Amino acid sequence: MARGNKRLPSHPKKKRGTAAADAKRLRRFLFVWAPVIVITLALVYALSFDPIKAASRTEIVGALEEEQSAGAIGVSVYGVKLADGRSIRVGISEKGAYRMGRRLAISESETLLFRRKVYEFVRFLD
């Protein structure tokens, strides 16, 4: 008997698991991972597309304090001191050199879901 060329029997494809193990994996996915995925997607969607309330838009007056940074292309971000004492940041896309202390009108809006305040530049008052 020659010892060198002994072949091992080929194995048929192994089954992944029993029906009970598959059912356990499916339950774990449905009751643990599926809700985590759905909640995460809902939060990302809500934070990205949080709509602005139509009735919450008011116009407020403020004064430029300082240029804080350059935002997107063509937009400069300024710190603005409001008449009621709050300080906010507003992006202004108009070209020009602005002197600090110049008065401007700002639109203040509130978002629907998370009640975040959103400020937009409207016009210069002087």
Mean pLDDT of the chain: 82
Supply the pLDDT for residue 38: 95
Supply the pLDDT for residue 36: 94
Give 93-105 pLDDT, tens digit per residue: 877 667 888 899 9
Owning domain of residue 109: 58-124
Residue 4 placed within a domain: no
Give 72-94 pLDDT, tens digit per residue: 677 788 899 998 899 999 888 87
Report the domain count for the chain.
2
Residues 38 and 69 in one domain: no
Q: What angle do CA 74, 79, 84 make, to 5 degrees?
A: 135
Is this prediction's pTM over 0.75?
no
Residues 64 and 105 in one domain: yes
Q: Which residue has the tokens 């202004």?
A: 92
Residues 45 and 88 in one domain: no
Q: What is the mean pLDDT of residues 34-46?
A: 92
Structure tokens at 95: 């070209």
CA distances for 77 relative to 11, 35, 110, angstroms: 68, 39, 20
d(CA 55, CA 106): 16
Give 106-116 pLDDT, tens digit per residue: 999 998 888 88
Q: What is the mean pLDDT of residues 10-27?
A: 74
Between 26 and 76, the more confident residue is 26
